[in-house]
Amino acid sequence: MRFGLGGLTVAVATTYNLLEKEGREALAAGEPERLQYRAEGGAYLNLKGLALDRLAGVDEEKIAALCRIVRGLEFAAVDAGQSGHPGGSSSKTEQALTLLLGGAFNFDAWNPKHPGRDRIVWSAGHCSPLFHALLALIYEALRRDGFTLDGMAVYPEQLARFRRWGGPSGHVESEYALADTSTGSSGHGFSAALGFALLHRSCGLETRAFVLAGDAETEEGLSYEARNVASAVGAGNVVVSLDFNHFGIDGPITEALPAPYINHWFAQGWNVIEVDGHDIRELAYAYRLAAQGWAPQRPTAIIAHTTKGIHYGRLENTADSHGTPLPHPEYVEVMKKLGFDIPGKQGEAEADIAVVTDALEEAERAYLVARLRDAARRVPAEAALIERMKNTLVGRPMADYRSLRRPDTLPPELVFKEGDSIPTRRASEAWFAWAMKNSAFFYVGAGDLMKSILTGKAEQVYGVISPENPLGRGFRFGIAEQNMSMMSTAMSQDTLPGGFRPMTAFATYGVFTPMMANGVRMTLINNDVNPDARAFFIMLAAHDGPETGEDGPTHHGLFWMSLFTAYPGIKVYKPLDANEAIEMLFLAAERGEPVVFSVVRPNVPVLKRGNGVPPAREAVNGAYVFQPFRGNGKPKKVLAVCGGQVMANVLGILPEIEEGFDVKIVAVTSPQLFEELRRRDPAKAEAIFSEEDRRYVTALHNGWKGFLYPFLLPGDYESRVFGMDRFSRSGKPDEIYRNAGFDAAGLRAKILR
């Protein structure tokens, strides 16, 4: 609005009352850029009901016939075990078969772990009836040509022992073909696939990572973290096939996801394609478009609208179909409606499975084998992939963590001056940077704590992974410990062309590490069931102990290790000083066994060696004799000490203790390593800490006291071990130690008691 005033033209802004509908309508008409309803995302394409040309090679009728066979095998397996998940398995059947046969997925059924294959993650790991039925179909078809495969295949007759000891597993495990990680925890597969995708892209490879997922998995907070990172780094080689059947286990997903489902993917920058999840043509188009990278440098979610438990009798389109087998008579009725004239005698599943298998006609079998051969031909030769990696990573050492051996003479940056005070986080900072320069396959990142935990020096050797720097080796995970854990540990499960194995290190404060436990647990399970995919990773538990005193109990790293010492296949390392940290990191790489590695923020003394004190390398035993008995005839006292600051405090009062005792000091760096030493070399372990020593021991740890239980006799857990077993309060570190009784006076009282 404008009007004249004394020859001047003055502009007056229009005013709006946005509490009134008329005011909002006026704003939308007058200044439309101010009032919009919009979502920022990737590209969007809706194929539902769209007239599409048939695709060459995609015989929809034959694929539909194969889907019928697979459903029959699924339902028979669930009935045989009277256990399993028929609902999501049935609704994903067209997705799985079309992905396999539609021309978008590169896979060699004759060599299923070929390093050039596309990766596939069954994020909906409970859909093992579909998974095993699909494998049974594939390898029955190949067996009729005389090809058999032990270990990685499933055959139809094995489905009769589904979810029983020695039979096909209850959730997807990666020792099988067509599975690249073991799954079962909902929502974790997105992170695992992202790890595979970024590993391959960062080595110059064009591998894609496909995910078969349920719609309810979007509820999992971890999946939100993964979606953010995938979009931020431009992971265009990630394709998620979402089974949008509207139900979780307990009911409709709208009970937990009130916003339109597409918003949870589109608003985070993903490309979205919507299809009828039972329409083979639409699915084939969607998978090919996604694989071609139709909207580059963005991951793609294919929202496949399906019916949960389709063809599964009265449980069709219900949440109950998720994990509820039909009563046997109803199962028989369902199978007959599918066209399988089974005997249907309860307890004789083999006969039912044979009927389904015999229904595989030769024309359909021949088509399946031909499409599998076509998929195998698309897998690049390993030699060509190795050459591509060398050309992409020119100037970087083509070596993995197995080459990171301790030099006879350590480089200067890995040696810390005795007597100085150095945080052990400086040692991990130096070692990570050294390792990054000596391996092309090391990846590192932190949960928005790089500047505090000190992973930045290693990250910057090749830079942080981004759309502009796809060959980086550092990660910006953000405040997202769950995704950081699952993505990093899954990445380390993979094997690249040439047999190269990646190593990952990921870091947060020790007090926050329990948030990462499930990703670690899933990978430890994978290590156990599939040793060929044995992962090596370092989870850095930084700021261990109470030294983050001013932050209060929310940041005191006191009890976290109680969780990780319970898991098989991983050990907690807690070096006392910077030089021990270097030695133990080399040990970790040499062993190739996952570790949780404790480092501290404050300065701690670099212990002086010599004059009877062993070199720092002895820390790799898990415990070593820092000071032997003097043999002075006084009563014996053994001090098992864990924690650099505790050791410093003990050494400060040692002259007073020695007035009345003959004192032996055992430095403890990993009770788990020491227990392993007892089994491997009992004589050496006995020389370090004998059974007699247990009679005289006082154990001291600036954290969870249970960490040192292996050094005690039964019954001594309360009287001879001292830790910090209560939540503290904010205070300076010296105040924290004093109030916990770990200052000089408190330690003196504990030891003398």
Q: How many CA atoms lie within 13 A of 156 on its CB side?
A: 26
pLDDT score, position 13: 63
Cα angle 43-45-47, degrees, rounded to a multiple of 5: 165
Going by pLDDT thresholds of 50, 70 and 90, the confidence category of residue 38 is: low
Q: Are 103 and 58 in contact (CB under 8 A)?
A: yes
pLDDT score, position 715: 81
Q: What is the rounded radius of gyration, in angstroms, for the C-alpha atoms of the chain?
A: 30
- The residue among 647, 666, 538 whose CA lies nearest residue 596 is 538
Residue 5 has pLDDT above 60, yes or no: no
Cβ neighbours for 564, distance < 8 A, ≥ 6 positions apart: 513, 517, 520, 539, 570, 572, 596
| Three-state SS at 523 | helix
pLDDT score, position 12: 53
Two tokens, residue 596: 């949780």
Cα–Cα distance, 101 to 99 (Å, whole number): 6
Strands 636-642 and 697-701: parallel
Place of tokens 């080796």: 473
For the stretch 168-207, pLDDT in tens is 999 999 999 999 999 999 999 999 999 999 999 999 999 9
For the stretch 466-502, pLDDT in tens is 999 999 999 999 999 999 999 999 999 999 999 999 9
For the stretch 285-309, pLDDT in tens is 999 999 988 778 899 999 999 999 9
Two tokens, residue 448: 């928005």
- The residue among 421, 465, 519 whose CA lies nearest residue 181 is 519
Task: List the domains of the chain with CATH numbers.
Answer: 2-37 (no CATH), 60-383 (3.40.50.970), 401-598 (3.40.50.970), 621-752 (3.40.50.920)
- The residue among 100, 162, 92, 166 whose CA lies nearest residue 130 is 92
pLDDT score, position 3: 42
- DSSP state, residue 327: P
Q: Are 661 and 634 in contact (CB under 8 A)?
A: yes
Share of the chain above pLDDT 70, in %: 98
Strand partners, 721: 699
Q: Are 71 and 309 in contact (CB under 8 A)?
A: no
Two tokens, residue 595: 């570790």
Q: Are 67 and 100 in contact (CB under 8 A)?
A: no
Mean pLDDT of 31-50: 83
For the stretch 635-686, pLDDT in tens is 999 999 999 999 999 999 999 999 999 999 999 999 999 999 999 999 999 9
For the stretch 425-463, pLDDT in tens is 999 999 999 999 999 999 999 999 999 999 999 999 999
Type of residue at 255: E
| Three-state SS at 302 | strand
Cβ neighbours for 313, distance < 8 A, ≥ 6 positions apart: 326, 330, 331, 333, 334
Cα–Cα distance, 92 to 510 (Å, whole number): 40
Q: Name the packing angle between helices 93-101 and 362-377 (round to 10°).
A: 60
Going by pLDDT thresholds of 50, 70 and 90, the confidence category of residue 117 is: very high
Cα–Cα distance, 102 to 33 (Å, whole number): 43
Cα–Cα distance, 211 to 192 (Å, whole number): 9
pLDDT score, position 295: 79
Residue 364, Cβ density class (10 Å: 0-12 exposed, 13-18 middle, ≥19 buried)? buried
| Three-state SS at 628 | coil
pLDDT score, position 11: 52
Helix (H) or strand (E) holding 596: strand 595-598
Task: Give the rounded distance of the alpha carbon of 178 from its chain centre.
Answer: 18
